[in-house]
Chain A
Amino acid sequence: MTPADSELIAHCLRNDDTDAFGELVQRHQSAVRRFLRHLARGDGALADDLAQETFIQAHRGLLRFRPDSRFETWLLGIAHNQFRNSRRRRRGEAALSEMNPEETALPSSERLSDLQMDLASAMNRLSADEQLSLMLSFQMGLSHSEIAAVLERPLGTVKIHISRGKERLRQILSPWNPRT
């Protein structure tokens, strides 16, 4: 039987077990790297560097993890902080926002369906906060309160971003309405 995250964390803490931590990295690397790729607008190299730093930070701070929350939510919170710190450090260098979103938002290695392409294009027309909240909610399956914890925003703000984002998408995506 596959051990739960909490068991692996307990194992890491008790025995300083690198294998148990490796299992945790393997389980959550996809979510963390995908989240960071979204934040870095498809810059895979930057996203992976930040993801690595995220896991190192998590390993260092494992004692601070509260078992009443999900490990993945905690990791995404660290990843978000890592991204913000890196953006602060990179301020003055070429800003990520100046990159062409059409080229950077979608990794070229991924083959997307028409729906996914249209949705990605529609998402690009939303604000960064709206995109991020919708992505965390619908791609990663996080609850509104988990999103608020990851982004360190009030719950009400997250709900507004999701609601506004959905409203704008509803208008943009009306051709996809199956009733029409």
Chain B
Amino acid sequence: MSPPDDTELEALLREGLKRPPLRDGGFTAQVLGALPRRRPFRHYRLLVGLGWAGAASGLSVALWAGCSGSGEASAASLISNAWLGFALVATLMSCLGAWYAIDSASRA
């Protein structure tokens, strides 16, 4: 008997080593169940702190800007005050930052 040549041997190997795919049988579900939970957002406490500090500062500046005007200052003149506008924006942004941090932490 002569040994098979290279092409025949390769065909034999392809045919002989062929196996049907293994059935999943719950393997994928098991892997997905074992995946580590999303890493908690590490700096959320810092962000919440900064957010509330920013909000408090903004409100303080707003109050200071409001109180330092003349007694008969109208609401319109208060809003037109640049300091007050800036303080309100800072307050809003800080509140949003704090909310985002809390939300991220609760979903993690």
Contacts and interface: CB of A to CB of B under 8 A. Distances in A.
A119 B13 CA distance: 8
A138 B13 contact: yes
B12 A115 contact: yes
Contacts, number: 94
B12 A29 contact: no
Interface in A95-139: 110, 115-116, 118-120, 134-135, 138-139
B106 interface: no
A77 B28 CA distance: 19
Contacts of B18: 116, 139
A125 to B, nearest CB: 14
B21 A170 contact: no
Interface residues of B, number: 28
Given A170-B4, A174-B2, 5 more contacts: A52-B27, A118-B16, A169-B9, A173-B9, A179-B8
Interface of A: 16, 18, 21-22, 25-26, 29-30, 33-34, 48, 51-52, 55-56, 59-60, 110, 115-116, 118-120, 134-135, 138-139, 166, 169-171, 173-180
